[in-house]
Structure 1
Amino acid sequence: MTTHHTHSDLHSEQGALPGEHRGRVASPVIKVRDLAWLEFEKPDLDGAEVFGHAFGFATSFRGADELHLRGALAGTPAVVIRRGARSRFVGPAFLAADDVDLVRLGDHLGVRVQPLPDPLGGLTVDTLDPSGARVRVVSSCHQLPALPVQTPLVHNVNGGTTRTNATQRPAREPATVERLGHVVLQTTRYRQALDWYLEKLGLIVSDFLYYDGQRAKGPTMSFIRCDRGREPADHHTLAMTLGPRTRYVHSAYQVADLDALAAGGEFLKDAGYKRSWGIGRHIQGSQIFDYWRDDKGFLVEHFTDGDMFDDTLEPGWAPMTASGLAQWGPPATPDFLGIKPGRESLAELRSILANVTRSDNEFDLTRLRGLLKVANS
């Protein structure tokens, strides 16, 4: 008798059908504990730092050609930005449980364990996933001490009175980022990349999405969490979706509560930054969300109140639709969906024309029809 069960009663259409992807493997090489940080290159570190502070990060390191932005909780920096000729996402760094796991992974991949630069400390195994994306797995990094966090507001709810003779006045200030939550990546080799992360890093799937009418062809998006046994982990640390090119989609950072998120959004708007989509509550993951564009156009998310799952939950399955991205909130915007006229949508269109008939990726004409249906749903 298994202790695993689906979470169709929580937010998914149903569990897997016979023969569908299980969303985990029995004996992965290692099981990573978390997402440590994300690495970017940008030509303007000053602009990156200004936006970072407006978004709610603190600076933990600043050199001539490198910037580290951190959340308030103890741990590693959340974002590492190095000076580069153009703005690009370099890749994620995942946290191994210990050095022994790092050595085991390095031996399995045939990759040497290397020391990280002093501002980060610790060790890394650097490799590529099947999409060609750079992936780091790290251990024993320097631990930054905790900083002050925002205190969630006290609410008068359910007929109770917990706040008397006191008003609610959340300050219009940056929403203090507490920690990095997840990153979403698009790939032309979704199934190969998914299996790689499950087999090599021990991640497990919380939810699968599939194109409407194409379930028999398999999923096209997965929300993937760390397997910590009975210790709950974020609903997704990594999300992956099939698309016409391999690229960064967005990353998400936890804040204290809805008021911190909303007031922080007002601060960003007053500072001249552009909201992409929000405020709303997601279905997969349940987070209250608010999406913004940073100084170079990267999509970043404030979130609060996300789901936490242990290892007993099997994946949920649901069709992918634009309207199914949120329980409540405004409709998903063209900017968020990547169809707003501009540089990114043109790059996506060029990739569709270049890749849809190639045999070395999974994004074919049938999948293109499914994606177009999502955009119009």
Structure 2
Amino acid sequence: MANAKVQLSRLMAVHYQHPNLDAIEKFLVDFGLVVVKREETKTYYRGFGPETYVYIAEKSPDDRKHFVGGILAVESAEDLHRAAKFPGASSIHDAHSLSGGQQVVLTDPVGMKVTLVHGAKTRPASAVKEEAPAPILINSGTVRSRRTLHTFERGPSKVANCGHYGLRVDSSKFEESVDWYMDTFNLRLSSCLKLANGKPAFMFMHINKGKEFVDHHTIFLSRAMKPLPEATPHHCSFECDSFDTQQLGHDWLLQKGWTNCYGIGRHKYGNHIFDYWFDASGNIIEHYTDGDLVNCDTPPTYEEVQPDSIKIWGPSIPLAFFTGRPEDAVKPQSSGPALTSLDHVIRDGIKPPSAQAEPVA
């Protein structure tokens, strides 16, 4: 029953563990996030939006990078009590973070944590208004409303909030994981990309809030094309205020010597303008802007994966977008039509013969 689901309100933040907190801080500041608080083993970051934090960087317990999970607000205290009854759920306890409130931690079928928070405080509206960039008016061929000279400052992108994150899941656990997320929460399918055999490969899900319009996806799951011992993140994504500051941030990150994974381009599913980067630990992290909004009246889309499934426009798909390895960032995936090799992978369910890589969403 829909009423038995835990009602999510929004994605607040993501939580990663890094071997070197100083190195990841350098990257995240260049990326456009602001340090809020440093603790002995954790650093909190925010954007200019209302959340008190949008990213937790924690010292890794070993020399490896780890994705701990997403942190999402729920609609009511009742939702926390409902979540606490799920198998393996934590008890309800104080959220020892900048936002306060109480929380319950769930574990999904592939071992990823989902932290649910109620009563989280947000930043004062006056502070958000003071930091938010002024809206950019665009003069087009038919609408010419800007009457002032436009000036921009070079620097990091203006990041507002955490928009979505995605996981790569072993094929044997994929359907179970999709069912768990959609049965546990008020998540609704926005778009599904299918394999040639009809099985879903990529599932993009949004928070269903009825008539209220929300982002095209908050969580997505992708099916790994080879055995995957444990689920891994593909990327987390942060919304910029405009295409201009996203491009300025792209140039800034290049100037600072960071490795671009893929972008700038426009996705087909969600329609947002994307720009993917490798952080200091080798995780993929995205800037995006101008994404689609959906509500309960928006029908989900279903499509078989095609060579142009990932993008509407943009550069050739790099090998790094599939392997998740920074050393592959400068190698083109194909000299032909975009995603020719991915189409081969999806059709045959095998790794590209030249790249020996698996596709990711």
- TM superposition score normalised by structure 2: 0.84
Matched, 1:234 2:234: no
Task: Provide the C-alpha distance between the structure 2 equivalents of 1:150 and 1:230, rounded to a whole number of angstroms.
Answer: 28
Aligned residue type for 1:275: N
Say what the alpha-carbon RMSD is for the aligned residues: 2.3
Correspondence for 1:198? 182
1:51-200 to 2 correspondences below 5 Å: 51-84=27-60, 85=62, 86-109=64-87, 111=89, 112-145=91-124, 146-147=127-128, 148-164=131-147, 166-188=148-170, 189-200=173-184
Shifted more, 108-117 versus 320-329: the winner is 108-117
The number of residue pairs the alignment matches comes to: 326
Residue 240 of structure 2 is matched in structure 1 by: 255
CA distance in 2 between counterparts of 1:341 and 1:96 reads 35
- Aligned to 1:370, which of 331, 349, 356? 349
59-68 or 145-154: which moved more?
Answer: 145-154
SS, match of residue 183 in structure 1: strand
Quote the offset at 1:120 in angstroms. Answer: 3.7
- The alignment status of 1:284 with 2:269, answered yes or no, reads yes
SS of alignment partner, residue 79 of structure 2: helix
Q: Cα distance 1:368–1:69, how it changes in 2: closer, same or farther (>3 A)?
A: farther
For the residues of structure 2 that align with 1:128 and 1:197, how far apart are their CA atoms?
11
| Contact kept? 1:28, 1:202, Cα under 8 Å | no
Contact 2:31 2:156 in 1 (8 A): yes
1:270 corresponds to:
255
SS of match in other structure, 1:107: coil
CA separation of 1:292 and 1:340: change in aligned 2, threshold 3 A: closer
1:145-197 CA-to-partner distances (Å, cap 9, x unmatched) read 34312224322212444345x54442221111100000011111111011111
| Matching residue's letter, 2:223 | L
**Structure 1 residue 367: Cα displacement:** 7.5
TM-score, normalised on structure 1? 0.80
Quickly say closer, same or farther: Cα 1:332–1:28, change in 2 above 3 A: farther
- CA distances 1:6-63 after superposition (whole Å, capped 9, x unpaired): xxxxxxxxxxxxxxxxxxx745422211112111111222222221111111112111
Please say if residues 28 and 198 of structure 1, whose CA atoms lie closer than 8 Å, have aligned partners that are also in contact: no
Select the residue among 40, 43, 47 that pairs with 2:19.
Answer: 43
Question: Distance between the aligned counterparts of 1:128 and 1:173, measured in 2?
Answer: 38
Instruction: Return closer, same or farther for 1:121/1:371 CA change in 2, 3 Å cut-off.
Output: farther
Counterpart residue identity of residue 113, structure 1: I
Check whether the contact 1:223–1:238 (CA below 8 A) recurs between aligned residues.
yes
CA-CA distance at 1:340 after TM superposition: 6.0
Q: Which runs of 5+ in 2 are unaligned?
A: 330-344, 353-357
1:144 to partner: Cα distance: 2.7
Cα distance in 1, alignment partners of residues 349 and 21 from structure 2 = 39
Contact 2:273 2:290 in 1 (8 A): yes
Query: Is the 1:322–1:332 contact (alpha carbons within 8 Å) kept by the matching residues of 2?
Result: no
Structure with more relative contact order (C-alpha pairs < 8 Å, separation 6 or more): 1
Question: SS of the counterpart of 1:241?
Answer: strand
